[in-house]
Amino acid sequence: MSKKSAFDGQLTPMAITAALVLIIVGALASPRVAGRRPGQPTAESVRSDLQPRGPQVFRYYSEQPGTLDPALASDAYSSIVIAQIFSPLVGLASDLEPVPQVAESWTISRDVSIAWL
């Protein structure tokens, strides 16, 4: 008479259940061991969300501008940096006609002394 082993070539339902429980517990515990909570974004997912979708332009300025206030800018270097940050109310087209940029519309008084944007 031969003895039957516990394995007998097949896994018992109890062994399968135990293995599945260990896998689930390990999957749930691994983020906590790594120092983050489940549902918390990973560094890779945050980086991919922050990546710009379109073309990028990187400008390196060798010094700090004197001011970022357009009303106080008196040097060309500050004006260059300010032009990259602020948009004017009205711009000029190629034929030097005024075109709206930030302003949606404007009216000019009859005596041409006041323009309302």
- Strand runs labelled E in 17-85: none
Higher pLDDT among residues 47 and 61, named by residue: 61
Return all residues near 80 (Cβ < 8 A) that are at least 6 apart.
Answer: 61, 65
pLDDT at 72: 92
Higher pLDDT among residues 40 and 19, named by residue: 19
Higher pLDDT among residues 23 and 8, named by residue: 23
Of the candidates 89, 69, 91, which has an alpha carbon nearest to the alpha carbon of residue 79? 69
- Report domain extents, the chain: 13-50, 57-86, 88-116
Per-residue confidence band for 115, with pLDDT thresholds at 50, 70 and 90: low
pLDDT at residue 22 greater than cutoff 80: yes
pLDDT at 3: 60
- Which pLDDT tens digit goes with each residue over 49-106? 566 677 777 777 778 888 889 889 998 888 888 888 888 888 889 999 888 888 888 7
Which tokens sit at 34? 């790594």
User: Positive or negative, the Cα torsion across 77, 78, 79, 83?
Assistant: positive
pLDDT at 26: 79
Mean residue pLDDT across the chain: 75
* Span 33-52, average pLDDT: 60
